[in-house]
Amino acid sequence: MDTVLSKGVFSHFGLLEVQARNRLIRPQQSSRVKELKAEVAALKIKREQLKAEIQTHKTLQKLRLSVDKQSIDKEVEEMEEEFADTELLKLMAKHSHIKDLIYAHHLLGGYNIIKTNNDKAVCVSLATAYEGFYLDTYNLEIDLRSVLRISHHNIPPFIPLNSLAEQSNIQTDVKAFLELLSLHLNAYAGRKQQLKLVKEQFKSVEVMESNTLCTLLVLMFTASTKRTPVLCTLDYSDHTKSLPTRVLFECEDSDLPNSPEWKEHCSLLMETPVHKALMILRNVGDII
Amino acid sequence: MKHITELEMINVIDSPNQSMWHALQLIDPGDDAQTVEFIQFKKQFKSHLVELVRHVSIKIKKHTDEAIWIRIAWGDSYTRPNHMKPTYAVHHLQTPYVFVTTLTSKQKPLLSQALLLSTQYQTIKEANLSGRKLTAIRDLLMKQYQQMFPNSFPSLLTETKENVPDPHKVHEQAGTASTRGRLACETFGRGALPQIETTVYKLDTKYKDPTNQTMSERSRPFKCVVKFESKNLLESLRHCATSGIVSTPVAQLLSSIPKKGRNFFYVTDTDAASSSQRPASQV
Residue A245, chain B, CB below 8 Å: the answer is no
The total of other beta-carbon atoms located within 10 Å of residue A205's CB is 21
Which residues in chain A touch residue B149, judged by CB atoms under 8 angstroms apart?
A: 123, 125, 139, 141, 152, 154
Of B35, B93, B94, the CB nearest to A237: B35
- Chain centre distance of CA B227: 16
Decide if B94 and A212 are in contact by the 8 Å CB cutoff.
yes
Which residues in chain A touch residue B95, judged by CB atoms under 8 angstroms apart?
A: 157-158, 212
Residue B147, chain A, CB below 8 Å: the answer is yes
Question: Which chain A residue lies closest to B31 (C-alpha atoms)?
Answer: A163
Portion of chain A with pLDDT greater than 70, in percent: 85
Q: At what angle do helices B38-52 and B107-119 cross, to 10 degrees?
A: 150
Residue B75, chain A, CB below 8 Å: the answer is no
Amino acid B277: pLDDT: 37
Mind giving me the DSSP string for B62-77? E-TTSEEEEEEEE--S
Residue A206, chain B, CB below 8 Å: the answer is no
Residue B161, chain A, CB below 8 Å: the answer is no
Output the CA–CA distances (angstroms, integers) from residue A228 to A14, A225, B113, B176, in the order listed: 136, 7, 43, 68
Residues B52/B108, Cβ–Cβ less than 8 Å: no
Residues A59/A89, Cβ–Cβ less than 8 Å: yes
Nearest-Cα distance to chain B for A159, in Å, is: 8
With residue A240 as reference, give the H or E element that holds it. none
Residue A280, phi then psi, degrees to nearest 5? -60, -45
pLDDT, mean over chain B? 81
Residue B86, chain A, CB below 8 Å: the answer is no
| Long-range contacts of the stretch B153-158 (C-beta < 8 A, 24+) | B154/B182, B157/B181, B157/B182, B157/B185
Residues A201/A216, Cβ–Cβ less than 8 Å: no
CA-to-CA distance for A93 and A79, rounded, in angstroms? Answer: 14
Q: Is B178 exposed, middle or buried (0-12, 13-18, 19+ CB in 10 A)?
A: middle
Nearest-Cα distance to chain B for A254, in Å, is: 23
Break chain A into its structural domains and give their ranges: 11-103, 112-189, 203-283
More confident residue, B262 or B167: B262
CA-to-CA distance for B215 and B219, rounded, in angstroms? Answer: 9
Nearest-Cα distance to chain A for B147, in Å, is: 7
Portion of chain B with pLDDT greater than 70, in percent: 90
- Residue B280 binned pLDDT confidence (cut-offs 50, 70, 90): very low
Q: Is A99 exposed, middle or buried (0-12, 13-18, 19+ CB in 10 A)?
A: exposed
With residue A251 as reference, give the H or E element that holds it. strand A246-251
- Residue B164 binned pLDDT confidence (cut-offs 50, 70, 90): low
Residues B115/B124, Cβ–Cβ less than 8 Å: yes
Portion of chain A with pLDDT greater than 90, in percent: 7
CA-to-CA distance for A37 and A26, rounded, in angstroms? Answer: 16
ipTM associated with this complex: 0.75
Residue A229, chain B, CB below 8 Å: the answer is no
Residue B255, chain A, CB below 8 Å: the answer is no
Amino acid A77: pLDDT: 57
Nearest-Cα distance to chain A for B95, in Å, is: 5
Residue B35, chain A, CB below 8 Å: the answer is yes
Amino acid B193: pLDDT: 86
Q: How many residues does chain A have?
A: 288
Query: Is the bond preceding B249 in cis, omega lying within 30 degrees of 0?
Result: yes
Residues A194/A242, Cβ–Cβ less than 8 Å: yes
User: What is the number of CB-based contacts under 8 A between chain A and chain B?
Assistant: 57
Q: Is A272 exposed, middle or buried (0-12, 13-18, 19+ CB in 10 A)?
A: middle
Which residues in chain A touch residue B151, judged by CB atoms under 8 angstroms apart?
A: 112, 114, 116, 123, 125, 139
CA-to-CA distance for B191 and A200, rounded, in angstroms? Answer: 28
